[in-house]
Structure 1
Amino acid sequence: MKTSTPTSTNKLLVSAIVFLTFTAVLMSSLLFTSCTDSTEVAFDETSLIERIESATDKQVVAIEDLPTATSAALSSDYLDSYFVSAELAPGLGYRVVASTDNLERTEQTSDVFFTLDGNRLSDDREASRRRRNRCFQFVFPITFIMPDDTSITLESRDDWVLIRTWYADNPDANERPELVFPVDIMFEDGEVQTIVDLEELREVKSACREDRNRRRCFRLNLPLTFFMPDNSTITVEERDDWSLLREYYIANPDDVGTKPELVFPVDATYRDGSVVTFNNENEMLAAREECRDN
């Protein structure tokens, strides 16, 4: 009986099939292991956060005594924040309260969690994400008046570090900076709204938390005239003229926090295009309240 010998071509074909089969098995194994490891890491971090949070024997620690690695968090996701207090859950990790001067954030404070080595834990829980969410975005530049009455202007988001640097250079300062109004804010769809004072900004954030429409149901029509705290007047003829009010407060830092007085009567346009006249502040405030109720 004559036995056939595989040709070189057949040998190469068999080798290729064996190699491809081995590669497929190896890649499947690595993919499964990678996915499993990733899931376990995410689960372990969430579990550790919950254990730190629920620990009953947490000890208060000074911010300066936190592991050096925690400062890296302030250089990334928390560029606009500062640490105000910290607790150690023995054998588990740290719970640190971070606060921010960035009024874009839904909440002013939030918790940040670290391992014993100072590595930040990823807190992907829904409640935590909501606290760090941006309700809107500032249209830069924006200006802050510092406790020593100097001003710092942020030209971009990266400039939040200027606020932190000022406090590092002035460790005895206890007051936080004051945002100079008016400011422009931008919503997700690109619409820009001018906010005249802190009260109006708080209304926008309240609507954000309650998941209702953050846009005003009416806007005041230009021109508008304001009495300033020094009894001078500023008239806003066009959108760019809002900067005149900011310039006033930068030049008069002691007046920051004192809102300008709008001169009535003023006309306002509702979302449906209808125009009304407000003869005094009470009429305008009543209209705003009706908007919130609806």
Structure 2
Amino acid sequence: MKTSISRERILKSSILFFSITAFILSTLVLTSCSDTETAEETAIEDTALIEKIESATKVTISVDNLPVATETAFRFVLADSFAESAELASGLGYKVVLGTDDASKEEATSEVYFSLQGKQLADTDQKRQRRRHHKCFEFVYPIDFIMADNTSITLTSADDWGLIKAWYKENTDVTERPELVFPVDVTLEDGTVQTLIDTDELRAVKDSCKKGKDKRKCFKLVLPVSFTMEDATVIEVTERADFKLLREWRKANPDATVKPALNFPVDIEYKDGTTATINDQTEFDAAKDACKI
């Protein structure tokens, strides 16, 4: 037996369906607008409080005396940073100078602000945001750090910066910062991957970053090359991946203080594709100095 459905019933069902759908959509839109307005209002209020903290008379306090609630920010948003110093503006909040072990950042220090309760304030100042967030490059993970007790910590992704913070929590009497183990691979903004073999090359890239210049290295080594280590071990680098052998040696010899010695002669290739033969350390240093001109 066929069941007949009246047109009137279909019409009523359709009206009910569209009414419910419209109600749900309007609720979602209103909620979204409300959340956006709340976030904007919070940012305005936080900005006003930051300005008051900045202009107020402040007293220096120990970073250990910051509110416990600040740990939430340092555990997540500021995981790659640590408090170098702190100031209290009475009745207003805290100004904290941050340091970072993340050498990919353009600036080594920045500022952040907290309420008296320890909530990180939303800072809309573009200059401060750039100091805190702008990066010259991205590390190609993994990267390694040698700690003050000669142990090593390996970061396999950007999410692992908290491992260094955790080490310092367990070694509260240590103030010496960790040593980044070279060589490291980095990805520049244009997608170019470069191998930085020492702190000099890292410094040159960051200097170019601050000056808005081409961040690519002035020249690179033409492989194969070899390095003599402090214990007279010779490490051959026949392809880019072999640079990790230098890093592994450094991790296995945390007490080493002598920089790996590049064995000459070597060929170098400049950014324009031209090459040159370098016969000794003096010529190598001269080539690096010429890049600064």
TM over 0.5: yes
SS at match of 2:292: helix
Q: CA deviation at 1:190?
A: 2.2
Q: How does 1:1-294 map to 2 (within 5 A)?
A: 39-56=40-57, 58-132=58-132, 133-256=134-257, 258-293=258-293
One-letter amino acid of the counterpart of residue 151, structure 1: S
Q: Distance in 1 between matches of 2:173 and 2:147?
A: 13
One-letter amino acid of the counterpart of residue 184, structure 1: D
SS at match of 1:68: coil
Give deviations 1:29-57, integer Å, cap 9, x for gaps.
Answer: 9999877665443333222212212212x
Q: What is the identity percentage for the equivalent residue pairs of Structure 1 and Structure 2?
A: 49
Q: Distance in 1 between matches of 2:228 and 2:32?
A: 67
Mapped contact 2:201–2:217 kept (Cα < 8 A): no
Q: Distance in 2 between matches of 1:33 and 1:157?
A: 33
Give deviations 1:174-228, integer Å, cap 9, x for gaps.
Answer: 2111111111111123211111111211111111111111101321100111121
Q: Distance in 1 between matches of 2:228 and 2:33?
A: 68
Q: Distance in 1 between matches of 2:82 and 2:92?
A: 23
Give 5+ residue unaligned stretches, structure 2: 1-18
Runs of 4+ displaced beyond 3 Å = 26-41
Give deviations 1:123-162, integer Å, cap 9, x for gaps.
Answer: 2212212212111111111111111111111111111111
Between Structure 1 and Structure 2, how many residues are aligned? 276
Q: Distance in 2 between matches of 1:174 and 1:32?
A: 47
Quick check: which has more Rg, 1 or 2? 1
Q: CA deviation at 1:28?
A: 11
Q: CA deviation at 1:268?
A: 1.3
Q: CA deviation at 1:242?
A: 0.6
Match in the other structure for 2:9: none
Q: Which moved more, 1:39-48 or 1:188-197?
A: 39-48
Q: Which moved more, 1:111-120 or 1:39-48?
A: 39-48
Give 5+ residue unaligned stretches, structure 1: 1-18
RMSD over aligned Cα atoms? 2.8
SS at match of 1:255: coil
Evaluate the alpha carbon distance shift between residue 35 and residue 150 of structure 1 in structure 2; reply closer, same or farther with a 3 A threshold: closer
SS at match of 2:191: coil
Evaluate the alpha carbon distance shift between residue 31 and residue 192 of structure 1 in structure 2; reply closer, same or farther with a 3 A threshold: closer
